[in-house]
Structures are given as structure tokens and as C-alpha cells.
Structure 1
Amino acid sequence: MNSVDTWKIGFLFSTSGVTSIIERSQLQGAMLAVDQINEKGGVLGRPLEPISYDPSSIEERYGELAERLIIVDRVSVIFGCYTSSSRKAVLPVVERRNALFFYPTLYEGFEYSPNVIYGGATPNQNSVPLANYLMRTYGKRFFFVGSDYIYPRESNRVMRNVVRQGGGEVTGERYFSLDAQAEDFAEVVDEIMRTRPDAIFSTVVGQSCIEFYKAYHAAGGNGLECPIASLTTNEAEIAAIGVEASVGHITAAPYFRSVNSPANRRFLKAYEKKFGSTIDVTSCCEAAYSQVHLFAAALEETGEMDTEGLREALLGATFDAPQGQIKIDPDNNHTFLQSRIAKVNDEGEFVIENKVRRAIKPDPYLVYPAIHDWSFRTQKVAAGSRHNE
């Protein structure tokens, strides 16, 4: 098909390397959305044509491939990235070239670019509610373990401030490389077992996340007594960790596969039909899926791949996402998202324990950081209705 008959868009998701377990699911969520849009006739009669590159989880490759998409492939709209380091590599490229970049991943906040549409949770949508829940349910002594790059360090800085505001304390803080193995975590796990915190806050990501959970379990760690709590650990990683080592551990996210809504049932049915299973469906996958649909609706309105026009159409746009209705905040290019806290049950499935009554306005700079601001908006999910949202 001649490219003039299509709308070309770029995908930068790694299908190899240490973050591929998540980025592959993001790519598949985005591809599912493309298929659905094209099956309905595309946008204004022209199909979306994705051009996809694998940065192999190598930070500098994201920036290089973003440049290639824009200059060589003549693409002005890009979806991609999981880590904040990779986002930071793409950011100056899209700003210099005035391209539009959709980032479908939670992150540490404290950023704004007119060239970015942020689709993942900000700290007020996940860190603040998680800290509130943990201190209310388990106690106020936390041990931080993270991967050694921008997101974990900044996320821990935010979490430390939130915990201290709630009267809690951080008893330890350690960082590891993205390719850390189970044996690399032995020393910190021993320290955790000795100091006995009330909860562990983990910002360990990718394959090393799986290794950390397994190391904790092997040392006698019990999620039902002292859980590992995370903003990133998802269904795909829980499947790789295994049920026995996962029970009791907690994640705060806008979306879980177990959400029972018509939109989510349609999404999961379509995903399984295309990819054969929903085992790797994650919050980041759902965000990528939703962002492609939001983009297509904006393109339908503008009729052209113009960054300013698309941005104007996107700001304030809504979508009936699998997590519930979301909206792009015209104040800051971030997204109103649902906020949920879930615990892994003995079948390896996330069971939602707490949720918000409505989508939370993003506050990427934590202008209103008070930990108790969140509690009045939440509801504890009754045991008999956790899957009936």
C-alpha cells in the first residue's frame, strides 16, 4: 500500500532485553488498538500504518530510533518507552523536531513537555494512595529496594516524603542494576529479614523484579506478613515469579486484568483472540492500547498529522478505557486515571482491595501532596464484590 494512503505512526517498544517483558505487552496493546481501528475503516478511510523498532532495552537506542522514525520514515507521532531513562532519551528529539510522543507508562512526575502525552500514573495517583494503604494496614516502617536509574530514585524520593508526612520511616534503601540476578539480592534480603520492616517498597523493574521476588521468597519472606509493595509489578511478572512466591504482595495501578467491566471484558476477549492469551496484559499494556485510540479520535477530528492540531484535539479528550473512563488533562498533558490497590491471591491473580470512586486528576508536581487527601475518595472493596466494579 502506498504510504500516502495510510497514516504512519511509530512504535518504540523493546521486544528484547531486560525490559522486554513489559514493553512487549505495550507493543501488543498498541497493535491491538491499530487492528481495531483499521477493521472499522481506519481514520477518515485511511488505515494506520505502524512502523515499529526494537531498541533492545538500550537507553541511547530509543533516542536514535526516534530520530530515524522522524527523519527517515517521516513519522511525526510516536508511541513508546517504559523506563524514564528511555523517555529522557526520546524527549529532546521530539521537542527539537516538534513531533508528538505518547508515553504509556507510570513515572516519577515532575516533568512537562508540550510534545508529550503522558498516559501512565503520576505519584498522586499511585504513590500517595499506596503509602496511605500500607501505613493503615501493615505499619509505618518501610524498606526501599529499587533498580538503579531515574525512575526508582525519584519515585523513592517522593515516597519517602509521603511516608514521613504520614508519620512513617524508611529503615533502608538499596539499588541494583537492571540485569541483577537472584544472588545479587541475597545481602539486601538478609538485611530485610533482620530489620523486619512492616513493608518493602520495590521499584525493581524488568527481569530483575522477578529475581528479587524469588530471592525474598527463598529466604523465607512471606507476602502475607511483610509484603513487597510496588507501582510496577504486574500480571506478566507475577506469572513469571510463580504463585507461591507472589501471594500477598501488593501493587498500586490504574488497571488490573481482574477489573470486571464491559470495556475490560471486550478488551481481554479481543486481546486473547489476537495473541492467544491474556497472561501478559498489564497496566502499561492497557495504557498503550488506550493512547492509540485517543490519538485516532483526535486524528479523526483534525484530519491531518499536525502536532499543534492533534495536541489541541487531545487536550480534554476522553476514552472509555478498560480501566474506566480516562481523560487527558488540558492543564498538563497528563491523564485522569483510576487508582486501585490490589493483592495477589493464592491463584496468582490480583484481587482489588481499594479503589477510587472516580478518576483522579493528575498532579505531576505534587502541588497537593497531603497523604490524607486521598483517603476520602476511596472505598474498601467488599470481599464479595472485588471483581464487580
Structure 2
Amino acid sequence: MKHCRPTPSFEACRAPNGLRGANLVRHGAALPPEPAGKPVSGVAGTALAKPCVSAPQQLSVHGDRTMKRRSLIKAFTLSASIAAMGLTWTVQAAETIKVGILHSLSGTMAISETSLKDMALMTIDEINAKGGVNGKMLEPVVVDPASNWPLFAEKGRQLLTQDKVAVVFGCWTSVSRKSVLPVFEELNGLLFYPVQYEGEEMSPNVFYTGAAPNQQAIPAVEYLMSEEGGSAKRFFLLGTDYVYPRTTNKILRSFLHSKGVADKDIEEVYTPFGHADYQTIVANIKKFSAGGKTAVVSTVNGDSNVPFYKELANQGLKATEVPVVAFSVGEEELRGIDTKPLVGNLAAWNYFQSVENPVNQKFVADWKAYAKKHNLPGADKAVTNDPMEATYVGIHMWAQAAEKAKSTDVDKVREALGGQTFVAPSGFTLTMDKTNHHLHKPVMIGEIQADGQFSVVWQTEAPIRAQPWSPYIPGNDKKPDYAVKSN
């Protein structure tokens, strides 16, 4: 899959016998499609229209020579025209900056990642409308790793080596990020990762615009333990079975121990990607809650969130009895759910669509207009969410850094990114940390409303600096506070 700038109109070449080379160029139309992930380039492999040949005629020797001479002239003229157009397209390609978009558009994670692809395209359009970067238009190259973790690495390598992109915006799950990480470190590529994660990583080839645990998970559990948050004493940790939930829950268990919560008051359960039957799990949550005031901490990812929340409603488990705080559920995931039975459950993020400020009002309005213009699925109910905002911020920060560096060279842009600031839709000015490659972000806790939006019930007064190496994991105090390669 790709998203390329339309090819300019060219006059169709006139082939011998007056036929137009309609299969080569079409006036006012783009070139025929090329393989997925490849931008429009040149005329290689394009079929020329064959000239019509009339029935054989008797020609004199002189006439035969004349015909041959004319044919050679026409053939040379046609070849020159093709070469000129090929040169034009090559120059055009050189005048754009290719950027990669690496998100699952199919499979279990498509419910969450498709909107990030669309937000990236909207942001690129916004930057191009203002003149692009260093006088060049951005040309997005979109690929679909299809929720297939090894395929992420393959597609990432394709973007860097074949498509020659200057930067990649992508991934959602930590397993997908860890799949591509060795590729980006090997090839010195640049990845912007827009989703909350477990920390325990700080690569020189990644800039993290989502939250680290101290910018989401820890504050959320502290809130649940507070009087305002319900004074929870027992915690049911439910997650999808991969690195992000397991590492996050390892951190949370250690944090809860530090607050005096015993292991008997902590339950940990994991389900595979795409899991759809939560009947037994919700029944077990109800049983566990009989032992004291309980809260559920959910790190369930992808389309499994829909059956989980539906089962909560089916069994009548209300937020007033057992509140659920989710780290991977936002406005987008709630679009397909009747949220009325879920009112009062929580999510912890760094942005919600409902925050009121002029920057966010424009951001939301622009997104809704873009969704309608491009006829995106569910455009009539288009919503924004935290990873979409993080995608938007990341692309703008990269563009600012490339302008500052006057180059898209990875090493120069990386140097220029440290200290970049951006007034975000969250209402805060976010800063890219100079040493750990993470954004300083505010923390917000939102309560689900009947319309599928969130009402912010708690937030920090200012952005918080990320702690990628959690102090709740032994040995992290000895790790450096600067980016180092993972291998």
C-alpha cells in the first residue's frame, strides 16, 4: 500500500501512425500502479502502445529507404520523449522527501493503528501545505505489516533500503517495535514511536512520543489507591500476553509492594492477541473483588478490548463496584461499543479529545474535516485519541528538527531533535528530552462518558520527564540516562 503525490499531467506521446502512447502516460492521470510500498518513479516496465500496421504494400527501393528513414526518425523522437519524461520524473522524485508509515492496516491491531496511518497522512498534508521541509514536499510511503511481528522488520528494512525514506513513523505494540529495532540500529534509520510502552529501552535510533510507565501506569494506580480514585486495596492486572503488559505489570507489582500491598491482593492474568471470550475472566474478577475494594488495571490491546468491555456490561460489573483503568483504550477503541454501561470506568493517557483549548479545537476540527474529505470509515463519527496526538506531535517535531539541521541526514536530525518543543493539542508545550529521546508529557486520567468520550478527572499541573529505566526494577539505577543501542 502506498500514498504518493499525483504525477503531473504530461502530453501523451504521439506514437507512429498517429496513435497515442496511452499506456505510457494518460493526460491528467497518474502512472499505472507499481508494487506496494514503492513510490511512483520513472517509466520502467510501462507498456508502449503498439502502432497500427496496415496491410503490406509494394514499395520501390527508393520508397523503402524513405520509409525506413522516416521510421528511424519517429522512433528516435519517441525514445527521446520517453527519456525526457523519465528524467522529469526522476527530478521530481529527487525534489521530495520520502517518509515511511509503518502501521498495521489489517489483523488484530488494525482497529488501533489504521487511524495513526491516517493521522500521519493528514499531518504530512498540513506540513506540505506550508511549504514542506527545507523547500521539499514530503512523500509518504505506506506499508502494511498486517499485525505480523516479523513482517514489521521486513517492511522496515524495505522502507530504509528500497524506498530510501528519511524517517519512519510507526508501530504500536512493543513486540512490533522490538522486531524493527535491530533493523533501524543496523541501518541507522530513524523511528518515531507514538504509543505508551513499558520502558526499559532507550535507543539512539528511536524517538518515543508515547508515555513511559511513570507518565501513565504509576500515576494511574496511585490515583486508584487515593480516596478520590476509590481507595482500591486489591488489583486485578489483566493484559494481552506480550512484553508490554508483562513488563508493565512487573513494574506495578513492585510499586504496589512498596505501598504495602501483598501478593495475595494482586492477581495477574494474560490472554493472547485477538482473544474474544472474556466470560470466565470477568466472572473471576467479580469473585476476586469479594476480598476487598478492587480495581482492574487493563493492558489488553487491539480488538480484544471490544469483547472485554462488552462482557463487563453483560455481567453488570459497574465502575462504582470495580473500576477498570485501561492503558490501551481510547476514543477510537470505544467507537464500536455501547458505552452507557461503562460510564465511570477510566483510562490513563496524556491527551483526550475532550480537553478544551484552542489548539485542540483546531486539531479535532481538522481531523474531522480530513476524515470527511477522504471518506474514511466512520468519518461521521471521527474521533481523536492519544496515539494520534503523539503521531501528530512526532511528525511536526521531526520536521522542525530537519529544518533546524537544514538536512534530513539521520545524525544531523537526531542532534537537532534534542530540546525541540511543540505546543500540543493536550494544551501543554511538550519538549523532546535531550538525553533520553522521550517527550516530557502531562498525565491525565479520564472517565468514560455515555457518548464514548472521556471527562478528565485528574491531571498533572505540568509535563513529566520520562523515566525509561523504572526505579521499580532492580538494577535500573545503574543504567545510563542516555540513548544506547540495544545490541
Provide TM-score, normalisation by structure 2: 0.73
Residue aligning to 1:361: 465
Alignment of 1:130-169 (within 5 A): 130-136=220-226, 137-138=229-230, 139-169=232-262
**Residue 170 of structure 2: aligned partner:** 80
Q: Is 1:208 equivalent to 2:312 in the alignment?
A: no
Q: Tell me, what secondary structure is at the counterpart of 1:235?
A: coil
Q: Structure 2: state its 5+ residue gaps.
A: 1-6, 8-91, 373-378, 474-487
Whole-angstrom distance in 1 between the partners of 2:138 and 2:464? 31
In the alignment, is residue 3 of structure 1 matched against residue 106 of structure 2? no
Q: Does 1:190 align with 2:283?
A: yes
Tell whether 2:391 aligns with 1:288: yes
Moved over 6 A (4+): none
Pick aligned residue for 1:336 from 440, 453, 457? 440
Largest Rg, 1 or 2: 2
1:263 aligned onto 2:359: yes
Compute the displacement of 1:280 (Å).
3.6
- Structure 1: which amino acid aligns with 2:317? G
Amino acid corresponding to residue 44 of structure 1 in structure 2: N
Match of 1:299 in 2: 402
| Identity rate, percent | 37
Distance in 2 (CA, whole Å) between partners of 1:71 and 1:349 is 41
Change in Cα spacing, 1:368 to 1:151, as seen in structure 2 (3 Å) is closer
Q: Is 1:109 aligned with 2:204?
A: no
Number of residue pairs matched by the alignment: 367
Kept after mapping to 2: 8 A contact 1:63/1:90: yes
Q: For 1:177-214, what per-residue CA distance to the aligned partner results, in whole angstroms no more than 9, with x for missing partners?
A: 11111xx2221111111121511111111100111111
Pairwise CA distance, 1:69: 0.6
CA contact under 8 A between 1:238 and 1:246: conserved in structure 2?
no
Matched to 1:30, the amino acid is A
How many Å apart are 1:368 and its aligned residue?
A: 8.1
Conserved in 2, the CA contact under 8 Å of 1:14 and 1:20? yes
| CA distance in structure 2 between the aligned counterparts of 1:198 and 1:214, rounded to whole angstroms | 20
- 1:216 to partner: Cα distance: 1.8
Determine the structure 2 residue equivalent to 1:18: 108
- Normalising by structure 1, report the TM-score: 0.91
The residue type paired with residue 120 of structure 1 is G
In 2, distance between residues paired with 1:215 and 1:339? 28
2:317 corresponds to: 221
Q: Aligned AA for 1:141?
A: R
Structure 2 counterpart of 1:203, one-letter code: T
Partner AA of 2:233 in structure 1: K
Higher relative contact order (Cα pairs below 8 Å, separated by 6+ residues)? 1
Q: Distance in 2 between matches of 1:260 and 1:299?
A: 31
Deviations 1:73-94 (A, max 9, x none): 1123111000000000110000
**Inter-partner Cα distance in structure 2 for 1:25 and 1:100:** 21
Higher deviation after alignment, 74-83 or 84-93:
74-83
SS at match of 2:238: strand
In structure 1, give the amino acid aligned to 2:236. F
One-letter identity of the residue aligned with 2:412: G
Shift in Å, 1:237:
1.3
CA distance in 2: counterparts of 1:185 and 1:175, whole angstroms:
11
- For each residue in 1:238-283, what CA deviation from the matched residue of structure 2 results, as whole angstroms up to 9, or x when unmatched? 2222212321110111000001111111111110110034634210
Correspondence 1:249 to 2:345: yes
Q: Does 1:346 align with 2:453?
A: no
Instruction: Work out the CA distance in 1 between the residues paired with 2:306 and 2:470.
Output: 30
In 1, Cα distance between equivalents of 2:244 and 2:339:
27
- Asked whether 1:172 is paired with 2:262, we answer no
Q: Shift in Å at residue 142 of structure 1?
A: 0.6
For 2:389, the aligned partner's letter is E
The aligned counterpart of 1:95 is: 185
Q: Is the 8 A contact 2:253 2:266 kept in 1?
A: no
Equivalent pair of 1:10/1:75 in contact (CA under 8 Å):
yes
Which one has a larger percent strand, Structure 1 or Structure 2? 1
5+ residue gaps in structure 1? 370-389
| Code of the aligned partner of 2:394 | Q
Q: Is the CA contact 1:246–1:348 (under 8 Å) kept in the aligned structure 2? A: no
